[in-house]
Amino acid sequence: MSDMKELNNTPDENITNIQKDNALQEDKHNINDSNEPINEDNLNELEDRFYKRFNPRKLIPALIIIIFITAGIVSYQAYQYKSLMATFKDNFDSSNYSEANKYIVTSGNSNIFKTFFLEDDLETYFRVKATDLKNKISLNEISKDDALIVFNEMNRYDLLSTDLQNDSSVLSQGTNNDTPLSKGISEFEDGKYEDAIATLQNVPSSDPSYQNATNYIAKSKEKLKEDLLKTANDYEKKEYFTAAINLIESKLSLLSNDKDLVKKIEDLKTSKDNYLASQKSSAAPASSSQLVSAINAANINSLDIESLTDYLIYVDTTSQTTNVYTGSKNKWNLKKSMKCSTGIKGKETPSGVYTIQNRDEWFFSEKFNQGGKYWVQFDGDYLFHSLPYDKGKQNVLDTTLGTPASHGCIRLSLTDSKWLYDNVTKSTKVIIK
């Protein structure tokens, strides 16, 4: 029947049927092939096909390039690290300890050799350095004071072994702390930079410790400069321009007219001029007489009172009290209230608005045959000062406080006058009512 059906087909249908039969036969053949066992010949044929498509030899040039690049980077970093250590050692050996520390901390932080080897290399260097110092001490080639300076610098890195730390401790106990160098270093470490400079300047150039003293003087000046600029910036933020200028100018000679400090003074003067100009363009503040008339302890923060420092003094002659405030405009807080004595009738303390000017530890008036300790000037011959003393500075001539008793100055107890002398800065506003 199938043959009959095929005969009845058209020529195109016959061709299609023949193609289907051939495809079916090919599929059967492929199935039979896939079921054939894999022998050695088939495996070799597969390997030949794989290596034709993927040949490892083609990767060799790329691998060689990668190896050369890696070797180059490692060699360069090794060279950089070697240079880093050499520069550090040169600075340290030359007693440029701050430069050495700054360099080793900030340089080469991406260097892999620094990451893995720095601590061990520094420890080895310090161990050799410490041994050399001990040998020089035993041969009297270096003083214990000078050796202790180097030990202290090495101790900053916290890498010395226990035995070397013990050597440093013993060395410290064996030094003479009364020498200018030791005393100056101690003052420097305590943050007393002006004292350190004054002490270290007493080391003569013929002294073997002179170079170390010079280095510490330089470090003391740098620290003092940093503190001055920080305080001046704080004053500037509060618009205490005069106080900031006076502070820097008072240290300028000691710091050899440092150019940064001179520039800061110029900037402060410009800021002060701009500030004063802006104040003139704004609403005019109350006159001095109006301020004196209005002020009392209760309204101190409602009168827009400004001072060129962060201190303000209000003297109430009615209650015979001197009130010291700290803060800023309309934010004044009472710091200290002191009983005082102002001028007697006919020699009254002048009311008005003034500023703190000069000060000293002692004055004596031949006219009144009495003197005062810890005086602080606010207007010409008018001062804050202690109770009156005789010329020998030993005996108090009048203990009166709380009622008028002076020739116009404002008397305070010795303790209070000393506190005012020590704390209230120049250019502070003083209001006397």
Return the active site residues.
385, 409
Q: Are 322 and 337 in contact (CB under 8 A)?
A: yes
Q: What is the DSSP letter of 282?
A: S
Radius of gyration of the chain (CA): 44
Stated as kind and residue range, the H or E segment containing 385 is strand 382-386
- Six-digit token pair at 274? 């701009």
- Six-digit token pair at 291? 């301020």
Spatial separation of the C-alpha atoms in residues 288 and 227, rounded to whole Å: 35
Cβ neighbors of 78 (< 8 A, separation 6 or more) are: 113
Cβ neighbors of 295 (< 8 A, separation 6 or more) are: 303, 305, 314, 431, 433
Instruction: Provide the residue count of the chain.
Output: 433
Amino acid at 338: M
Q: Name the pairing type of β-strands 311-316 and 429-432.
A: parallel
Q: Are 217 and 189 in contact (CB under 8 A)?
A: no
**Longest alpha-carbon distance in the chain:** 158
Cβ neighbors of 235 (< 8 A, separation 6 or more) are: 241, 243, 244, 247, 309, 310
Q: Name the pairing type of β-strands 370-379 and 382-386.
A: antiparallel
Spatial separation of the C-alpha atoms in residues 72 and 67, rounded to whole Å: 9
Q: What is the DSSP letter of 1?
A: -
Spatial separation of the C-alpha atoms in residues 236 and 269, rounded to whole Å: 11
